[in-house]
Amino acid sequence: MTAQATVLSAPLEPGFDYTRSYGPLLGRFAAGLRQCRILGARGADGKVHVPAIEYDPETAAPLSELVPVSATGTVRTWSWQSAPLSGQPLEQPFAWALIQLDGADTAMLHAVEVPGPEAMHTGMRVHARWAAERRGAITDIACFAPGEGPDERGELPEIPDEVEEMLTSPIHLSYMHAASPQESTYLRALAEGRVLGMRCPVCRKVYVPPRGACPVDGVPTEEEVELGDNATVTTFCVVNVPFPGQRIKPPYVCAYILLDGADIPFLHIVLGCEASEVRMGMRVRAAWKPREEWTTNLANIDHFTPNGEPDAPFESYAHHL
């Protein structure tokens, strides 16, 4: 396979911060963790669930009674993490274990720090090691360590009156994305300042970005079609809400752009006019970044801007909505 024919690949790391509300029961559980206290929720059958849960697993009724439990417990089962991943509790190899704390009837999953798997066994006693900085989350327990450990309280803690209201958790994925051969051809063309689509030999639709097969007819798409810079706005939305990483100050427009000669619109940004002026049928053209900034990426087109032509008639793009 030639270098030109090889598919393109690159690391992809999407991520965002997810914020959720705790609710009254989990909010008190989280507040306890911030104060180095572990609380369980008592079910209708008297079992104490740790971590605390909001609804009874037997009756599905909401739970309200919290019970303090010990920060020391017993390993019920475990497995070895030989190559820790980013964001896991420890950077060095460690054990994942189901730990039943004294006073609890269920086991919780957490990390145990030991020198190696030979130091782990079912039935061993472990104690919580608290994080130096706590924020009202399960990560306030940095990990568990072997042994009974020092009991700083001397007795089970009182239930705190405080309630944590919100939790923000960073969500990240990291993987290698490989483009298909057709996508690779499309991406290489973008690095040359060209937009390529591929035509279905049956329905004659032109797909941009190209696909390996027509989703309507199920046949390979092999005929390349080079498209120009002019296009039509089929539909759009005005972005008014700021968010982290935003490169354009709101308000601005995200629109589905239908290139002349294509049958599938794609999402891009419309600039060069007031957001209130953008409309369905508006004629626009691609505004490319300087050539020295081009890569194998659709971001080579910085945005679309009005090209001054009369609006396209609705019937010319209605079936693309």
**For residue range 289-312, what is the model confidence (pLDDT) as tens digits?**
999 999 999 999 999 999 999 999
Question: For residue 183, is pLDDT > 60?
Answer: yes
**Spatial distance between the Cα atoms of 253 and 248, rounded to a whole number of angstroms:** 10
- Spatial CA neighbour of 108 closest among 85, 126, 86: 126
Q: Are strands 166-172 and 195-199 parallel, antiparallel or unpaired?
A: unpaired
pLDDT given at position 202: 96
**Spatial distance between the Cα atoms of 205 and 317, rounded to a whole number of angstroms:** 13
Question: For residue 152, is pLDDT > 50?
Answer: no
> What's the longest Cα–Cα distance across the chain?
80
Element (H, E) at 189: helix 181-190
Q: What number is the average pLDDT over the span 125-153?
A: 88
**Spatial distance between the Cα atoms of 183 and 210, rounded to a whole number of angstroms:** 6
**For residue range 3-49, what is the model confidence (pLDDT) as tens digits?**
446 899 999 888 888 888 888 899 999 999 999 999 999 999 999 99
- Spatial CA neighbour of 147 closest among 117, 176, 124, 121: 124
pLDDT given at position 1: 37
**Spatial distance between the Cα atoms of 279 and 233, rounded to a whole number of angstroms:** 7
**Residue 153 confidence class, pLDDT cut points 50, 70, 90:** very low
The amino acid at 74: T
The backbone torsions φ and ψ at residue 139, rounded to the nearest 5 degrees and listed phi first, read -70, -5
**Spatial distance between the Cα atoms of 143 and 157, rounded to a whole number of angstroms:** 20
**In 3-state terms, what secondary structure has residue 275?**
helix
The amino acid at 253: V
- Residue 40: which region, alpha, beta or left (left: phi > 0; alpha: psi -120 to 50)? beta
Question: For residue 160, is pLDDT > 70?
Answer: no
**Residue 159 confidence class, pLDDT cut points 50, 70, 90:** low
Q: What number is the average pLDDT over the span 193-200?
A: 96
Q: Is the dihedral of CA 242, 247, 252, 253 positive or negative?
A: negative
**Spatial distance between the Cα atoms of 274 and 281, rounded to a whole number of angstroms:** 16
**Residue 150 confidence class, pLDDT cut points 50, 70, 90:** low
The backbone torsions φ and ψ at residue 90, rounded to the nearest 5 degrees and listed phi first, read -130, 150
The DSSP code for 63 is P
**For residue range 210-219, what is the model confidence (pLDDT) as tens digits?**
988 999 999 9
